[in-house]
Amino acid sequence: MKQRLRQAKRGACCLAWVCCASSASAQPASASASASSAALGYEVVGDAIPNPLTGVPGDAARGRAIVVNRQLGLCLLCHTGPFPDERFQGTLAPSLAGAGARGSAGQLRLRLVDARRVNPASFMPAYYRAEGHMQVGAAWQGKPVFSAQQVEDVVAFLQTLRE
């Protein structure tokens, strides 16, 4: 218990559904090479998940709606981006403008699935990881934040952000 409290104090942020504290459970980047998550069925190759998580192509319009949604994606808690109608955008993370030019679909996919596989010190939440969440309510235990299709929708949207 003490251990958990200490981790929580060190944590960068706690959202309703996932605590994205930087903790000892962060995996070193080197462990990511060609590791796979059997439970959720994706394969990490280097710094990317090259294959889509579903057979249905992502829908960029749905992805945009997820990104600006304050209950679901909550991306704008930390990020700014090309969303002129959205008030109160975050200042903790780089702007999402140009994200599609900076990373391939596979790199964007891994970043969303589990950002700490890209950067072990990241405090961006893992949106498609079922285990390893800290301090989440029973209803959220063992469940990823996004469905596989929602990951694909957000990847499709991010790819449209070219400048």
Which spans of this chain sit near ligand HEC (rule: CB under 6 A)?
A: 13, 20, 67, 73-75, 77-79, 92-94, 96, 99, 102-103, 108, 111-112, 115, 119, 122-125, 127, 154, 158
Residue 58 near residue 52 (C-beta atoms within 8 A): yes
- Least distance to ligand HEC from the beta carbon of 77, Å? 5
- Least distance to ligand HEC from the beta carbon of 5, Å? 20
Name beta bridge partners: 134. 19
Cα(42)–Cα(14) distance, rounded to whole angstroms? 26
Chain Cα centroid distance, residue 150: 11
Residue type at 105? A
- Least distance to ligand HEC from the beta carbon of 143, Å? 16
State the DSSP code for 59. Answer: -
Measured from the CB atom, is 5 or 121 closer to ligand HEC? Answer: 121
- Least distance to ligand HEC from the beta carbon of 141, Å? 20
The DSSP code sequence of 12-51 is S-B-SS-B----TTPPPGGGGTT-EETTTTEE-BTTB--S
Measured from the CB atom, is 119 or 149 closer to ligand HEC? Answer: 119
Measured from the CB atom, is 37 or 127 closer to ligand HEC? Answer: 127
- Least distance to ligand HEC from the beta carbon of 84, Å? 18
The DSSP code sequence of 97-125 is TTHHHHS-HHHHHHHHH-GGGT-TT--S-
Measured from the CB atom, is 1 or 161 closer to ligand HEC? Answer: 161
Measured from the CB atom, is 2 or 75 closer to ligand HEC? Answer: 75
